[in-house]
Amino acid sequence: MTDLSTPGEALDQDGRSTLRVDAERNRDRILFAARSLFATEGLGVSMAAVAREAGVGKATLSRRFATRAELIDAVFADRMEAYADAVTDALADPDPWHGFCGFIHAVCAMQASDRGFADVLTMAFPAADVLEARRDEAYEGFLEVVARAHGTGQLREDFTSEDLVILLMANAGVIAATGDAAPGTWRRLVGHMLRSFAADRAEVPPLPDAPERAPLYRAMVHFSGSGEHAALPRAPHPSRS
């Protein structure tokens, strides 16, 4: 049997070099660390922070992923597949309007569960070839979702695909602002937006409850960085008109 290892390189029981095993382990640690940091802090996390979280050196990170785009491509490949699957599910729905609403809610929920993916959906990464290609494919499918919903007369005729981008940007902002203090706030935004997208004859989904005042206030304090400029407007007194 030919020894494929380099000099001084041991082989494990499967015949793989220990260096290769270490490389695979390091790659997995980097992906796990990046996925965790991106999900909680967004894509602004530095490559150095990813390396520290993974417990590897910067040189090791660079060998595995030479650029941020390569890392983002690898981390969010499965998320983008789920995004594409949401389009497929919407197209398979026998009720085009219901499929449209389901897609909007599913994608906004993906954003809420992963701040990094919320950023990915509203940013362009030309160097992330696989990610961009899959997003382009999903976008083409979404255009068909929109066309089918328009065809039923339940989606406003003036809704365009750009409105989805606007919604995703707004949802990403709400998610970032409310954080852990009022994590379900995005549902209220999506409910209002779906109502605004609906034509007169459409059956609109029920509007989720508004967030409670105290959690929303805490979110505002957190978002402003201090309590100095955060204040909720006073609710009208029940006895006043």
pTM: 0.76
Domain boundaries in the chain?
Answer: 18-75, 77-224
Query: Which has more confidence, 125 or 24?
Result: 24
- In this model, does residue 49 exceed pLDDT 90? yes
φ, ψ of residue 87 in degrees (nearest 5) = -65, -45
Whether the predicted pLDDT of 236 surpasses 50? no
pLDDT tens digits, one per residue of 80-120 = 889 999 999 999 999 999 999 999 999 999 988 888 887 78
Query: Is residue 155 predicted with pLDDT exceeding 80?
Result: yes
Nearest CA to 46 among 68, 66, 29, 26?
68
Tell me the C-alpha distance between 32 and 149, whole Å. 39
Task: Flag whether pLDDT at 134 surpasses 90.
Answer: no
Domain 18-75 has CATH 1.10.10.60: yes
* Better-predicted residue by pLDDT, 230 or 13: 13
For residue 17, give the 3-state DSSP assignment: strand
- SS3 labels along 87-147: HHHHHHCCCHHHHHHHHHHHHHHHHHHCHHHHHHCCCCCCCCHHHHHHHHHHHHHHHHHHH
Q: Between 77-92 and 96-113, two packed helices, what is the crossing angle to 10 degrees?
A: 160
Identical fold at 18-75 and 77-224? no
Which of 55, 46, 48 has the alpha carbon at shortest distance from 22? 55
Q: How confident is the model over 154-168, as a mean pLDDT?
A: 94
CB atoms within 10 A of CB 123: 11
Query: What kind of architecture, by CATH, is found in domain 77-224?
Result: Orthogonal Bundle (1.10)
Q: What is the pLDDT of residues 55-76, one digit of tens each?
A: 999 999 998 898 888 898 888 8
Quick: pLDDT tens for 186-234. 999 999 999 999 999 899 889 999 999 998 888 888 777 644 444 444 4
Query: Which helix (DSSP H) or strand (DSSP E) does residue 51 occupy?
Result: helix 47-54
